């Protein structure tokens, strides 16, 4: 379990200065600023009932699971994209799991992606059994929202599974700008174990609407839907 940097407002407490994230959040602290993890970890978890604004894992190895059972919201800005849970140039040995709530809210010229994997390797798959909500309601430029994005020569073994809910809202109808929304997107990467939806994917955009998109990638195991997929124009 990683020890996250402390909120400067809490540094004065000797107890909190040596407390891991689980104990800190169980102590009733408010949602904390985005957590950056750059050193090897056995696991990374956000427990049920707890909240953080984002989790960024960069250039490191997590031997076990990356799991959210609490709330990650509203995300943090990485480049031109607001992200809630991001894994970049890293290796995850026990998969990525969400049974809580993950939300990324774009705006002010920023796109939004709730879960993004870039240049990384994940064993154990990516599973959502909770709620992923992504919104980007810009009216002054094009909008782009993605629920789960695997890109940049990433490799996922164990598949991508949605057994929960993925909701996306991109752009505003009549804004004059294109707005695209995609529930699950795989770009220039490899996924073994397929992509499966047994939950709900609801995608709203005023131009391009893609529930599941695969571009320049290899997905072995196919794409299977036994759940509900819906979409329509942004209002």
Q: Which residues pair with 192 in a beta bridge?
A: 157, 220
* Mean pLDDT lowest among 78-82, 183-187, 231-235: 231-235
Residues of the chain with pLDDT > 90, as a percent, come to 62
Return the pLDDT at 171.
60
Q: HSE-up of 40 (CA within 13 Å, CB side)?
A: 3
For residues 85 and 87, give the distance between their C-alpha atoms in angstroms, rounded to a whole number: 7
Residue 9 — very low, low, confident or very high, per pLDDT cuts 50/70/90? very low
49-87 core/surface letters (b: 16 or more CB in 10 A; e: else): ebbbbbbbbeebebebbbbbbbbbbbbbebeebbbbbbb
Percentages (nearest 5) of helix, strand, coil residues in the chain: 5, 55, 40
pTM comes to: 0.83
Instruction: Determine whether 222 is exposed, middle or buried from the number of CB atoms within 10 Å of its CB (0-12, 13-18, 19+).
Output: exposed
């Amino acid at each position: 379990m990683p020890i996250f940097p402390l909120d400067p407002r809490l540094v004065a407490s000797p107890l909190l200065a040596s407390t891991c994230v689980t104990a800190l959040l169980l102590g009733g602290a408010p949602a904390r600023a985005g957590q950056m993890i750059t050193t090897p970890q056995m696991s990374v978890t956000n427990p049920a009932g707890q909240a953080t604004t984002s989790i960024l894992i960069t250039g490191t190895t997590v031997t076990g699971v990356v799991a959210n059972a609490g709330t990650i919201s509203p995300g943090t800005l990485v480049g031109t994209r607001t992200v809630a849970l991001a894994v970049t140039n890293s290796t995850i040995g026990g998969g990525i799991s969400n049974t809580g709530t993950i939300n990324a809210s774009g705006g002010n010229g920023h796109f939004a992606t709730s879960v993004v994997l870039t240049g990384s390797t994940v064993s154990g798959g990516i599973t959502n059994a909770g709620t992923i909500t992504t919104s980007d309601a810009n009216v002054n430029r094009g909008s782009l929202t993605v629920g789960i994005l695997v890109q940049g020569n990433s490799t996922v073994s164990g598949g991508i599974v949605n057994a929960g809910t993925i909701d996306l809202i991109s752009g505003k109808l009549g804004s004059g700008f294109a707005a695209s929304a995609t529930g699950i997107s795989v770009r220039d990467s490899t996924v073994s174990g397929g992509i499966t939806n047994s939950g709900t994917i609801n995608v709203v955009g005023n131009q391009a609407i893609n529930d599941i998109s695969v571009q320049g990638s290899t997905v072995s195991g196919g794409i299977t839907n036994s759940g509900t997929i819906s979409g329509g124009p942004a209002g």
